[in-house]
Amino acid sequence: MKVLISADIEGIAGVFHPEQTRAGNGEYEAARRWMTLEANAAIEGAFAGGATQVWVNDSHGGFRNLLPDLLDARAQVVLGKPRTLGMMAGLEYGASLVFMIGYHAMSQTRGILAHTINSFAFARVSLNGVEVGEAGLYGALAEEYGAQVALLSGDDVFAEETAPRFPGARFVVTKSATGHASGVTQSPANARAAIESAAREVVQQHLAEGRAPQATRAAAAKPVECELRVQTSALADLFCQWPTMTRVDAVTLRFSAASAEHVVRMLNCLSAMSFMLR
């Protein structure tokens, strides 16, 4: 049983403010340690449940937040960018299960530090008419590679919006939102204990059910229509330099893609382009 753990920071217990997610200050250094230890709890639980290989993907910002020397030495760590599969890099090694640790709610919701990929650029992302956040986008990519999203952690708003998308998955709620940058959190120690226990039980359950120990790439990806609402008309001007982009109105764009993977790659390219307008 191979497991890929994708770790973000906004859904980590104790994280509430943007300063905690940005390098260069003491609050970030504490938060990245909590992020690392929650990822470690998922790693330890996966191995305790019977996983044979585990990859942990640093999925926040520049993808250089995790502290590898604090992680279980049995796991391999995916760091740095750019990379083709973004927050799901590691799928190419044949993971059967995906854990999303420290994830957050989609843009323009009341979740703690809610956004979708790039808060400066993107206001709303929809796939085939259904609004999605990062979990929905990257979950679709995981499924194209034959992997199942089996465990997710983050705040209560994230869990509520995401549960219908992954009905068989386990959720660990690390904190409850009272606003964009406020709420009530579990202690980091209690959050880690809950994640470790859930990870162990999820892997044990899938092994007991006889899930294949190694996933295979789906035979054919399905075409996807993506609608993207951006934060300003200037961003729409910029993104429409891409020849395949259609402009719907001042801030709404639409493009077709051959697969969820191609949507993710396009959005990550647009996110990188947006930095010229900051």
Q: Which residues are catalytic?
A: 115
Q: Give the whole-angstrom CA distance, residue 60 versus residue 102.
A: 10
Q: Where are the beta strands (DSSP E) in the chain?
A: 2-7, 53-58, 76-78, 97-103, 122-127, 130-131, 148-155, 170-179, 182-185, 224-230, 246-247, 252-257
Is residue 218 within 8 A of residue 146, CB to CB? The reply is yes
Q: Provide the 8-state DSSP code for 41.
A: H
Would you give the distance in Å from CA 202 to the centre of its chain? Answer: 18
Give binding residues for Zn(2+) as ranges: 8, 10, 60, 104, 134
Give Cβ neighbours of residue 26 (< 8 Å, ≥ 6 apart).
Answer: none
Would you give the distance in Å from CA 91 to the centre of its chain? Answer: 13
CA dihedral 180, 103, 255, 246 (to 10 degrees): 20
Give binding residues as ranges: 8, 10, 60, 104, 134
Q: Which token pair is 247?
A: 């402009």
Beta bridge partners of 137: none
